[in-house]
Amino acid sequence: MLTPEGWSARLMFRRNGGLQSYVYHQNQAGRFGDTTIADGFAFEPNRYHHLVMQVVLNTPASANNGSVLVWVDSKLLIEHNGLRFRSKETPASEIQRLLFNTFHGGSSPDWAPRHADGSYKTDCAFFDNLELTQNF
């Protein structure tokens, strides 16, 4: 169960270059965060893509007016609207930090990248020009 001030919004890579969101909020359906898959999208190898993730917190804390929007190469691919990230409006419920990391997730080798024959493979991603902005 989330705390009244607890929430998170993140992006996850999927198999074959896919992308999805993973959002924890006060009204989520289950124990784990809600996800939206960027249907029909796959990152292209050997090409930079421009990603933008916009997080708008709900205000006031009782409102369901928060959102997460994700654009890739200027195309809106993921939308979460009507979110109630926090149920208590305090400094602790504000955006506190940005954590940037990449990993293959999970708690077992099943999540590791593999070739079509099932053998393990090495994947590589390059990141450039990371920027955090605040718009009013």
Q: pLDDT tens-digit profile of 32-77? A: 999 999 999 999 989 999 999 999 999 999 999 999 999 999 999 9
Fill in the amino acid letter for 1: M
126 within domain boundaries: no
75 within domain boundaries: yes
Which of 73, 76, 54 is closest to 134 using CA atoms? Answer: 54
Per the prediction, the chain carries an average pLDDT of 91
Which of 87, 19, 101, 29 is closest to 52 using CA atoms? Answer: 19
61 within domain boundaries: yes
Q: Which domain holds residue 16?
A: 8-98
Residue pair 6/23 in contact (Cβ under 8 Å)? The answer is no
Confidence of residue 1 (pLDDT cuts 50, 70, 90): low
Q: Which helix (H) or strand (E) holds 75?
A: strand 75-83
Q: Which helix (H) or strand (E) holds 22?
A: strand 19-24
114 within domain boundaries: no
Domain count, the chain: 1
48 within domain boundaries: yes
pTM tops 0.75:
yes
Mean pLDDT of 96-114: 82
85 within domain boundaries: yes
| Token pair in block for residue 84 | 């109630």
